[in-house]
Amino acid sequence: MKLVKVAAGTLNQTPFDWSNNIQNILDAIDNARSVSATILCLPELCITGYGCEDAFMSPGIQATAIEKLNEILPKTGGMVVSVGLPLMYAGGLFNTACLIVDKQIAGFVAKQHLAGDGIHYEPRWFKRWPDGIQAQIEIDGVEYPLGDYLFDVGGIRLGFEICEDAWVGTRPGSSLASRGADILLNPSASHFAFGKTEVRKRFVLEGSRAFHVTYVYANLLGNEAGRAIYDGDAMIACGGKMVAEGVRFSYQRQNITTAVVDVDSTRVVRARTGSFEPDVDGDESDVVSVEFQFPKAEMEKNVFEVEPWESSTTIKEEEFSRAVSLALFDYVRKSRSSGVVISLSGGADSTAVAVLSALMLQFAEQQIGIDGIKGRFAHCKFASGCDSVQAFTRQMITTVYQATKNSSDVTKNAAVDVASAIHSTHYFFDVDSLVDDYVQMIERALQRRLKWDTDDIALQNIQARVRAPGVWMLANIKNALLLSTSNRSEAAVGYATMDGDTSGGLSPIAGIDKAFLRQWLRWIETDGPMSVGNIAALNSVNVQQPTAELRPLADKQTDEADLMPYPVLDYIERLAIRDKLTPDQVLRHLKVDYADVSDEILVGWTKRFFRLFSRNQWKRERYAPSFHLDDENLDPKTWCRFPILSGGFEEELGELE
């Protein structure tokens, strides 16, 4: 047996936050060394951070990345470590993985397939490296291999598939396997989406099986640059079997997942596989040989640090809870905010934002303790005086109920129930006099009374807008982050008041639909995340029909009466926006799946959706940043581009009759 201990390291990095990034890398190296791991794979572009955007093109950023690489080298004694950074070569910028062997650079492998869809824009900054091309790059007067290389390190052959390289049909791993690769390293920056980890598992397992190798996968962790969430997946597979997995959604700055693998075992399987065809042309110009003495490794029990909730039947609810809470935690601390402020209406959306804010601290306490939380928020003046997560929550989370004459005791009391359950600092503002002042000012200017039958939208919107200045002021005083509470269903049809309920520096739930949010809140009420538990007080929210409470209470306003049932709205949104179906095609689907509803109503819903979606693109352009959660995102900055001005499908809608 030829045993070697390999490790996948996950890191919580930030774009060009040099001291943080390098310290995390060095800590990961030290931790891997402390458990006798010899080969360590770290995530894609971990030196600079993956989300540098157009700053990647800065010569200063590129030069600093090289400087930091040189700082890492002396810390890698006795180890083989891969780190990621951008490299300029032949006039183009390349996304590369640098293989370091015992304090020396062995060479660089450049990414062959760039992620240019969805939230990824790699072709904007990087060039793809052609398959089978090798070159030399000069750095500080020394030439190093760059390109499609295989590394023979002490008799063990290492190759790379960099993130997207493993997601395509023509994976580099196939060529590397024919050249005798023993271990494939996959440094990744793969954004979170519901259920995506199962896809990763399939290509890790299949890569290890089809290529007859040990496959080491290491992803980024946390909210790196604002919108994307990284779950910190770490996997090690051998010959089609998963031998180690790391915990996802960790609040640690770095994590190490290890396994002892038998290189001889995968070689034997490869040799006796009839379909394997080795490259026997004798040309070793694409192999970099490096002398290295691997230490003796002993067999160990496989490590599967997967949380119990990973196999739960409610995994989407668990994933949502943990992904958004971790993203919030990182966003607040990385923006150096001293907490969050939420306009808590007593309805579903603001309640969801408040609960997620509380969960971020509960999950953090379970993983890093109250001292760890205080350390992450050391910039907050109140941090040192908080000795429990409840005390920290009271300082960190501020909720405000803002009443007008159209607000009910039902929502007022529900807001109190939620605030009490999550231990937030809660305030009551009566903003009705402010609404009256604006209404009277406009009435004097127009020299007429404003009435609900003629000025409905204006009278609704002024109530939402009047609520914004007070919570903004409170957030400013507290140096806190104001959280917007609009969801994706509202964003789709513009059912939100700009500069009112859309106000905020971050919109945590703008990437998720209202139907799921209501389902999630019911789950939180009865079950809740594993290891945290339920919040029974949410019953006062869940028993309500969603309402903006902007019309007189006698009107009994509800969202679904204004729009359509939320499940129908989300159904149409998926067909029209995600699947790009025309109004006629959407209507055909509706007639099948909602056969018990009259054609007249179905036509009305279809027209309403397409018209409202088209008219309200300008609102989506102005939304605060939101988190990416699935392929139904409407964020025009990262996912769903749509013209602000368009024909609005009027001709197509006219044909529906």
Residue 109's SS3 state is strand
Residue 49's nearest CA partner among 84, 99, 5 is 84
**pLDDT of res. 118:** 85
Q: How far apart are CA 349 and CA 497, in angstroms?
A: 14
Confidence check: pLDDT of 274 > 80: no
549 and 419 in one domain? Answer: yes
Higher pLDDT, 283 or 562: 562
Task: Tell me the pLDDT band of 313, cut-offs 50, 70 and 90.
Answer: low
DSSP 293-357: -PPP-------B---GGGG-TTHHHHHHHHHHHHHHHHHHHHTT-S-EEEE--SSHHHHHHHHHH
Q: What is the arithmetic mean of pLDDT over 181-185?
A: 97
Q: How far apart are CA 490 and CA 407, in angstroms?
A: 20
Residue 358's nearest CA partner among 244, 142, 528 is 528
628 domain-assigned: no
Give the bridge partners for 81, in sequence order: 40, 100
**pLDDT of res. 275:** 80
**pLDDT of res. 277:** 81
**pLDDT of res. 59:** 97
* CATH number of the structural domain spanning residue 24: 3.60.110.10
Question: Could you give the strand order of the β-sheet that contains 340-343, starting from the edge strand earlier in sequence?
Answer: 425-430, 397-403, 340-343, 481-483
The structure tokens 């023509």 sit at: 170
567 domain-assigned: no
Give the bridge partners for 139, in sequence order: 142
* CATH number of the structural domain spanning residue 454: 3.40.50.620
Higher pLDDT, 435 or 313: 435
**pLDDT of res. 505:** 97
Task: Check if the beta carbon of residue 544 is closer than 8 Å to that of residue 410.
Answer: yes
What's the whole-number average pLDDT of the chain?
95
Residue 323's nearest CA partner among 187, 169, 194 is 194
* Domain end position, chosen among 260, 276, 307: 307
494 domain-assigned: yes
278 and 331 in one domain? Answer: no
- Of 286-295, 346-355, 521-530, 545-554, the least confident: 545-554
Residue 345's nearest CA partner among 464, 437, 425, 461 is 464
DSSP state, residue 10: E
**pLDDT of res. 373:** 97
Residue 41's nearest CA partner among 52, 49, 50, 32 is 32
pLDDT in tens, 573-609: 999 999 999 999 999 999 999 999 999 999 999 999 9
Q: SS3 sequence, 445-471?
A: HHCCCCCHHHHHHHHHHHHHHHHHHHH
366 domain-assigned: yes
How many independent structural domains does the chain possess? Answer: 2
Confidence check: pLDDT of 308 > 80: no
325 and 280 in one domain? Answer: no
Confidence check: pLDDT of 307 > 80: no
Task: Tell me the pLDDT band of 131, cut-offs 50, 70 and 90.
Answer: very high
* Domain end position, chosen among 307, 327, 360: 307
Q: What is the arithmetic mean of pLDDT over 287-308?
A: 86
407 domain-assigned: yes
Give the bridge partners for 105, in sequence order: 100
Confidence check: pLDDT of 309 > 80: no
Confidence check: pLDDT of 273 > 90: no
Confidence check: pLDDT of 301 > 90: no
Confidence check: pLDDT of 452 > 90: yes
Q: How far apart are CA 153 and CA 135, in angstroms?
A: 19
Task: Tell me the pLDDT band of 284, cut-offs 50, 70 and 90.
Answer: confident
pLDDT in tens, 370-383: 999 999 999 999 99
Question: CA triplet 44, 46, 51: central angle to 5 degrees?
Answer: 80
**pLDDT of res. 127:** 98
Q: What is the arithmetic mean of pLDDT over 171-179?
A: 94
DSSP state, residue 227: S
Residue 646's SS3 state is coil
DSSP 536-599: GGGHHHHTSPP----S-GGG---HHHHS--HHHHHHHHIIIIIS---HHHHHHHHHHHTTTS-H
27 domain-assigned: yes
Strand intervals (E) in 367-491: 397-403, 425-430, 481-483
Give the bridge partners for 101, in sequence order: 80, 104
287 and 422 in one domain? Answer: no
* Domain end position, chosen among 509, 526, 559: 559
Task: Check if the beta carbon of residue 523 is closer than 8 Å to that of residue 535.
Answer: no
152 and 69 in one domain? Answer: yes
Residue 627's nearest CA partner among 487, 503, 419, 449 is 487
325 and 298 in one domain? Answer: no
289 and 205 in one domain? Answer: yes
Question: Quick one: what percent of the chain has pLDDT higher than 90?
Answer: 93
**Domain housing 155:** 3-307
124 domain-assigned: yes
285 and 175 in one domain? Answer: yes
618 domain-assigned: no
497 and 415 in one domain? Answer: yes
Radius of gyration of the CA atoms of the chain, in A: 27
pLDDT in tens, 49-70: 999 999 999 999 999 999 999 9
Amino acid found at 390:
Q
Task: Tell me the pLDDT band of 450, cut-offs 50, 70 and 90.
Answer: very high
Confidence check: pLDDT of 271 > 90: no
**pLDDT of res. 212:** 95
Measured from the Cβ of residue 24, the count of other Cβ atoms closer than 10 Å reads 23
286 and 319 in one domain? Answer: no
Confidence check: pLDDT of 304 > 80: no
